[in-house]
Amino acid sequence: MRLPPTLPALVLACLAVLMPLSPARAEPVEAARRAEAAGLAEALQARILASPSATAVLEAWCAERGLSPEPRLVARRMPAPDKPPSAEQRGRLGVGPDEPVRYRRVRLACGPHVLSEADNWYVPGRLTPEMNRALDETDAPFGRVVRPLAPVRRNIGLRALDQAAAPGRDTPLFAVEAVLATADGLPFCEVAETYLGAVLGPVRP
């Protein structure tokens, strides 16, 4: 039996679909993905550094990227041993060696996407009882809880993390350390934030 003349072409087309990209073709694709990820990470980093509230920036980012139908951050408490502040941290917070400083470690999520992890050292005596109760008993992000204080954010550290490949959802992108103070300049919290690859999804046309 003689095969139809179009069958060989059809077989070749199927093989072309099934065959993976050659290294020569895959390399530009991977480079483009890395460049896109780096550009997005830099844009978010600039917004975080320029804003008094990382919570507000992340919620706006979540809405713009379409990460969740309800772009509202939730702070998921992470089981962790207490981590007392160092002498340097107490100095930045302007508290003596005996004044209570509480520690809170959370993962900030928008819908199913965990966007960052944060360590907070805060002075409960400089917050209201309602704020302290919310931090102890709810999943509200720190920035939303203390918003009535109109906080001013002073960045004290930035660490960009170089990536050899396009980052995954849990890949650390960059880390920021900052001190939060009231509008009158009274410091009440130091935070260390690590932003994860999930912030780069999904918005693709």
The reply to whether 44 falls in a domain is yes
Residue 184's nearest CA partner among 119, 110, 126 is: 126
The per-type count for the chain, helices as H runs and strands as E runs, is 6, 6
**Rounded Cα–Cα distance for residues 150 and 118 (Å):** 20
pLDDT tens digits for range 51-78: 999 999 999 999 999 999 988 999 999 9
DSSP-assigned letter for residue 197: G
C-alpha 54/C-alpha 34 separation (Å) is 24
**Is 135:122 a contact under the CB 8 Å cutoff?**
yes
Please say whether the beta carbons of 128 and 142 come within 8 A.
no
How many CB atoms within 10 Å of residue 121? Answer: 23
pLDDT tens digits, one per residue of 141-177: 999 999 999 999 999 999 987 665 667 889 999 999 9
34 is a domain residue: yes
Domain carrying residue 140: 22-200
Tell me how many domains the chain contains. Answer: 1
Inside any domain, residue 2: no
Q: What is the CATH number of the domain that holds 80?
A: 3.40.1410.10
Q: Has this prediction a pTM greater than 0.85?
A: no
Q: Is residue 12 part of a domain?
A: no
CA dist., res. 175 & res. 162, Å (int): 12
